[in-house]
Amino acid sequence: MLSRKSGCTCLRFAALALVYLSSHAFAQTPQTLHVTVEGQPALTLDRAALAAMPRVDIATAAIHHQAAARWQGVALSELLRRAGAPTGESLRGRAMATVVRVAAADHYQVVFSLGELDSSLGHEQVIVADTQDGHPLQGDGPFRLIVPGDQRPARWVRNVVAIEAANDAPQAP
């Protein structure tokens, strides 16, 4: 027999489920991306801004449970350069200790060193993708990090909202 008490529990569960869903599945991922290099003004970029930058197209099947795909976007190093990070010959000295943190809407974060992203040094190929096989990213977008060399896509940050380059190294005496 369904008691009044169990009916009440059921309602309470439904209310809780609704709160959970609205804070997760329906939570809006910001449509802009902030790129900040310590000591420089921040860049705020949307899909149109990325579409107007030099584009990179890469093929990769690193996601173990996904078929091969092509991803299009902008090199992470290009975004950092536009935000004022040193590249090539000017990436030296104290700047070699610069840490690049990529943060997602769900607070997931991944770090790189600026040196490993530079084409003159570690040349790790990393892109901020906005389309997969030419289609805008849906649940994992609008921006997703793609690191083609990774066998395990743990650095493929979904829903990227911020990229920050910071440096804690002491100044040279």
- The nearest distance, CB 67 to ligand MTE, in angstroms, is 12
Tokens in use for 134?
């030419």
Q: Give the shortest CB-139-to-ligand MTE separation in angstroms.
A: 8
Quick check: 72 binds ligand MTE (CB under 6 A)? no
Pick one of 42, 58, 63, 162: the residue that binds ligand MTE (CB under 6 A): 63
Nearer to Mo ion, 14 or 154 (CB): 154
Sole window of 5-13, 30-38, 53-61, 146-154 interacting with Mo ion (rule: CB under 5 A): 146-154
Q: Is 20 exposed, middle or buried (0-12, 13-18, 19+ CB in 10 A)?
A: exposed
Specify the residue, 91 or 144, whose C-beta has the smaller distance to ligand MTE.
Answer: 144
* 35: its two tokens: 């790129």
108 interacts with ligand MTE by CB under 6 A:
yes
Does position 104 bind ligand MTE by CB under 6 A?
Answer: yes
In the complex, minimum distance from the CB of residue 141 to ligand MTE, in angstroms, rounded to a whole number: 11
Q: Answer yes or no whether residue 154 interacts with ligand MTE by CB under 6 A.
A: yes
Q: What angle do CA 137, 143, 149 make, to 5 degrees?
A: 95
Of the candidate spans 20-28, 51-59, 117-125, 157-165, the one that interacts with ligand MTE by CB under 6 A turns out to be 157-165
> Which residues of this protein are in contact with ligand MTE, per CB under 6 A?
63, 104, 106, 108, 153-154, 156-159
